[in-house]
Amino acid sequence: MPDYIQDPNDSKKQVPGPPTDQHFDRHQLPQTASFVKRPHYVIVNANQQVAFFFESSASFSSKATSEGSGVGLSNGTLTGSQHYVDFGAPAVGTKFDINPCAWSGSNAASVIFVYKGGLDGLGRP
């Protein structure tokens, strides 16, 4: 909840203060084959083949290290297609209610990860 402030029309009352940044949904265009925070849902932004990684951060890190593409989550990438679940080439604007931690595809801006606002992560109307 936002903090309450004095009502500008009546000094004996309070009204809700302005909403914080957490009250609004936000989105991210994650880099392909890189580990990111799990979104609330995913939107496909281009008509191309996409695949998603659903395993743990430890699994991602160990597989990226074994590929030789980096050590740790901050600089490692996981490029092997065998690690991802293929979703085909969905239509532009398709919404998936999934929570992957990485994705794979040829166009960097083809997938949007959406994070719901609100302290409880449930978003606001």
The pTM assigned to this predicted structure is 0.72
E strand residue ranges, the chain: 4-7, 10-16, 26-28, 41-44, 51-53, 85-86, 95-96, 102-104, 111-115
* 72-116 confidence digits (pLDDT tens): 555 668 888 888 999 999 999 999 999 999 999 887 778 999 888
